Chains A and B, each alone.
Chain A
Amino acid sequence: MKQLIIRIGTYILFMMFTTTTAFAEASVSNEFPKIDTGDTAFLLTCAALVMLMTPGLALFYGGMVRAKNVLSIIMQSFFLIGLISVQWILFGYTLAFGPDINHLIGSFSWLGLATVGQVPNTDYAATVPHMAFMIFQAMFAIITPAVISGAFAERMKFPAFILFTLLWATFVYDPFAHWVWGTGGWLREMGLLDFAGGTVIEILSGISGLIIAIFIGKRKDYNTEVILPHHLPMTVLGASLLWFGWLGFNAGSAFGANGLAVHAFVTTHAAGAAATLTWVMTEWLYHGKPTVLGAVSGGIAGLVSITPAAGFVDVLPAAFIGGISGVLCFLSVSRLKAKFSYDDSLDVFGVHGIGGIWGTFATGLFASKAINPAGADGFFFGNPHQLTIQLIGIGASVLFAAAGTYMILKIISALAPIRVDADQESVGLDLTEHGERGYIYQDLTAGSPLAFSGNEDPAREMTNLNWGIWPPKP
């Protein structure tokens, strides 16, 4: 046994040594492609901006849940920075972007980032080190499953969550990213336009969120008790960080500090701004009050919808896409959800699913080669065929996300419980899953009736309050 470990260890060391040598040779002997320092600096900055979106999402979601679940939802985002980064480095990146197998998935050639180093990969980003492209894409892979967590907020067990996201990232995100962005991927070859992830990120997460919300069932108090966001300023802070990061998310998808990046930056901002206006106006008309939660939700809806289109459409169409998205997403969270009575806790489907579908469709309407010669003309620029391709892309992402998510959920539910039990749910996931509280004091409307209790016997606990000391001594 010991010998076997030594042998494997020696082999790994040998492999590491030889790959490093291969790099050194490549960078010395091959003068072209040349690294552009501006592009590299820009892409690394954008990767950092996108990284900040995940903690931003955690705060955005965190403010919308009840006080007793604030840490559980923040943990579900923050933990993924760790989990998916490691998955991505080990095998996620090679599955998504590695050398193509049958137009369906990347091969294992880049396992553990083998040969992914300081030399540019001309297939993806010709002027930056391959590793810069890899880490930029890693941030996308992290935030996508984090977005889904909003659909099952306040009721999923943490171990089931880890298993779900790991399987989902590997069997849904990585293959689909290959289809759309990987060299040889079938949707890419077909000509699907998805600049920064309308299908890969928004539709996949939105549809998966809907499936899981239906599968796991409604929250215990849904429609019987009042469930309110416990800290809207936190939600505003999170949404602002999302918007901030989104500028890097879309502009960075130009993979260079160039005109297209500037264009994507501006279209992104225009769409977010327009949707903020339209969501607030629509809600004002329907309910008589312009709400803050509506304003930030509108901003996110607009940013979602422009994601596939950012580098393909002009600025005015971008604002139009965002404006329509604000209305569509508002109606889907306030009307559609009530009509079909599913509990998508934080409206992952209503905002990301609907916004992503609309944006991917609208890309087929407004795309223009005058904006991006590497793209295609859309319906309004004399190419109705592009709309068909976009519809196929939408259909593929909806079906793949729904089927993949459902199968993963079936497998996990055979292995372990997915949902917390009723008592855990009423006490809150912060205490029962993580043994922590977000706030020392939790009020009646936003907290749990057993806010001070971690023990099985609430009556005993209520007479034995441990002010400021946690966990209570037995």
Chain B
Amino acid sequence: MKMTKIDIVTRPGKLEELKEALNTIGVTGMTVSQVFGCGLQKGHTEIYRGKEYNINLLAGIKIEIVVCEVPVEKVIATVKRVCSTGKIGDGKIFIYPIENAIRIRTGEEGAIAILDPKDIRKDLV
């Protein structure tokens, strides 16, 4: 079964809402990291003892998920709905094909490795 990796880089404040929304469409696993980045935005200014600094790299979060059963389009639509504010800095979504996945604990490979055992449909096994 085809596996797809989706990276979402977005505002830190959207994390909780996005986690909930992804959960409701059946995405159960994810890896979240704090990241710094810049895109079109110019950053912001901070002042320390009267000296102004331009901060170009802004704090963001990166959510990495891998899906097989959940349609990629559904994930994209959900992320767009939750994370879009219409302002610069909403972030990006990147989509990659996945070659293989291995569950370290059991050694299972392929789609099974990223699925919850109780969700696995009989025809897949």
Contact = CB atoms under 8 A, between A and B. Distances in A.
B57 A444 contact: yes
Interface in B25-68: 34, 36, 46-55, 57
28 contacts: A226-B53, A226-B54, A226-B55, A228-B48, A228-B53, A229-B48, A286-B50, A287-B47, A287-B50, A287-B52, A289-B47, A291-B47, A291-B48, A291-B49, A293-B48, A294-B49, A294-B50, A334-B49, A334-B51, A335-B50, A338-B51, A347-B49, A443-B34, A444-B36, A444-B57, A445-B36, A445-B55, A445-B57
A347 B49 CA distance: 9
A283 interface: yes
A199 interface: no
Nearest to A444: B36
Contacts of A291: 47-49
A221 B97 CA distance: 41
Interface residues of B, number: 13
A42 interface: no
Contacts of A445: 36, 55, 57
A226 B48 CA distance: 11
Interface in A273-312: 283, 286-287, 289, 291, 293-294, 297
A242 B61 CA distance: 38
Nearest to B54: A226
Interface of B: 34, 36, 46-55, 57
A228 B36 contact: no
A55 to B, nearest CB: 22
Interface string A309-343: 00000000000000000000010011100100000
A443 B55 CA distance: 14
B47 to A, nearest CB: 5
Interface residues of A, number: 20
Q: Which of A226, A228, A229, A289 has the most CB of B within 10 A?
A: A226
Helix, strand, loop or mixed for chain B's interface?
strand
A446 to B, nearest CB: 11
Contacts, number: 39
A61 to B, nearest CB: 13
B43 to A, nearest CB: 10
Nearest to B49: A333
B45 to A, nearest CB: 9
A338 B36 CA distance: 29
Contacts of A443: 34, 36
A333 B47 CA distance: 12
A288 to B, nearest CB: 8
Of all A-B residue pairs in the complex, the 3 with the closest CB atoms, nearest first, are A334-B50, A287-B47, A333-B49
Q: Which of B46, B49, B51 has the most CB of A within 10 A?
A: B49
A444 B47 CA distance: 19
A338 B50 CA distance: 10
A350 to B, nearest CB: 8
Nearest to A287: B47
Contacts of B55: 226, 445
Q: Which of B51, B52, B57 has the most CB of A within 10 A?
A: B51
A439 B55 CA distance: 22
Q: Which of A283, A286, A287 has the most CB of B within 10 A?
A: A287
Contacts of B47: 283, 287, 289, 291
Contacts of B49: 291, 293-294, 297, 330, 333-334, 347
Given A444-B36, A445-B36, A333 B50 contact: yes
A297 B52 CA distance: 16
Contacts of A228: 46, 48, 53
Nearest to A227: B53
Contacts of B52: 287
Contacts of B54: 226
B57 A283 contact: no
